[in-house]
Structure 1
Amino acid sequence: MGIKMRREEKRTVFGITLSKRGWNNVLVYAVLLLMVLLWFSAPSSERTFKEDAGDNAVMLLPNSSVLDSILIDDQTIEKTDAGWRCAAPCSLSAQQANALASSWQNLKIKATDRQPENKLVDVYLNFADNQHARLELFLEPQLLLRLPQQDKVFEPVGVTIEQLVGR
């Protein structure tokens, strides 16, 4: 024998009449179903971490920046109407100067925890809007680039030291 319910204990929603307890059960199961759907449809943090770690290289120079000159030790590579040239005294040909400038303009870097040792050279990048940037290149434990203003160390991606200093 069933328990008789009073009219005020029943609720009708979308034509379905259930008791308060019945509707509470419907809500509980609906929330559980929603949680399960969200759990399996959201990407796992492990998968997201692996995707992020795989390609976290960024461009050193933003696309909006216009590089005007590069100063490496005693060599100054300047932008001209015809391309890039090395100002005297310099041992780089016009082709080498173009390749060097292209390497810096397209340089991708990624952050690293390694501590640089054995500084090779300071590099000064001058931009068309009178902005300047100083970078330090290191050889140990591998090719590393440090931004002294930010005190951050980066690993250049896909380039050699020869492509960055022209030697």
Structure 2
Amino acid sequence: MIRMSRKAWNNVLIFSVLIMILLFNTTNNILTGSLDEDAPVPLLPDGAILMTLQMPDLTLERIGQGWRTSKPSALSESQLQALTQRWQTSQMVKYQEGTPKDMPLVVIAWLAGENSGRVYQLYGAGEHTLVLYEQQLFKISNVAVEQFIAAGKS
């Protein structure tokens, strides 16, 4: 056995523990897939219950299993249901290019059990929608921005 002083063995122990922590941390990142930047992210968290959508011209509120609008709208109950379903099922991926220069459409989603609303800035990009959420830009492919908003009657 190697003869070392007590102080030297303490140093060996400390460095070995630090190496183990580093090893566990990197293997955990690899196993959980947190290094995958291109993985789709849900627009709203899985299993979240959407209570209210505040849009530029209209507010949608959950009433039981259905939806109502804050002012008269030309949208039917099935169209409102499809709109909210689109919010709950859409997947987005990180977008690496710059933020568009045009004005965003701001939508606030209120979820059950949360004290504050989630603020989304939506930008139209042809047949795609760009979403700025928590200072990160995402893209939802093949869905135009108009499919995420509802317009009320004037």
* Match for residue 46 of structure 2 among 48, 58, 63: 63
| Worse overlay, 59-68 or 107-116 | 59-68
Conservation of the 8 A alpha-carbon contact between 1:119 and 1:136: no
* Match for residue 81 of structure 2 among 95, 98, 104: 98
Q: Hey, what does 1:87 align to over in structure 2?
A: 70
- The 4+ residue runs of structure 1 with deviation greater than 3 A are none
Please state how far the C-alpha of 1:134 moved relative to its aligned partner: 0.4
Q: Hey, what does 2:131 align to over in structure 1?
A: 145
Alignment of 1:1-167 (within 5 A): 56-117=39-100, 118-129=102-113, 130-140=115-125, 143-147=129-133, 150-166=134-150
Conservation of the 8 A alpha-carbon contact between 1:60 and 1:109: yes
The structure having more radius of gyration, on CA atoms, is 1
**What amino acid maps onto 2:131 in structure 1?**
L
Taking structure 1 as the reference length, what is the TM-score of the superposition? 0.59
Please state how far the C-alpha of 1:80 moved relative to its aligned partner: 1.4
Distance 1:86 1:60 in 2: 22
Residue ranges of structure 1 left out of the alignment (5+ in a row) = 1-51
Higher relative contact order (CA 8 A, sep 6+): 2
Conservation of the 8 A alpha-carbon contact between 1:86 and 1:93: no
Conservation of the 8 A alpha-carbon contact between 2:129 and 2:140: yes
Conservation of the 8 A alpha-carbon contact between 1:57 and 1:110: yes
Conservation of the 8 A alpha-carbon contact between 1:144 and 1:153: yes
Q: How many residues align?
A: 113
Distance 1:161 1:144 in 2: 8
| Worse overlay, 100-109 or 114-123 | 114-123
Please state how far the C-alpha of 1:87 moved relative to its aligned partner: 2.4
Please state how far the C-alpha of 1:158 moved relative to its aligned partner: 4.0
Residue ranges of structure 2 left out of the alignment (5+ in a row) = 1-35
Identity %: 27
Paired residue secondary structure (2:103): strand
Taking structure 2 as the reference length, what is the TM-score of the superposition? 0.64
Distance 1:160 1:128 in 2: 27
**What amino acid maps onto 1:84 in structure 2?**
W
Conservation of the 8 A alpha-carbon contact between 2:110 and 2:118: yes
Distance 1:158 1:151 in 2: 22
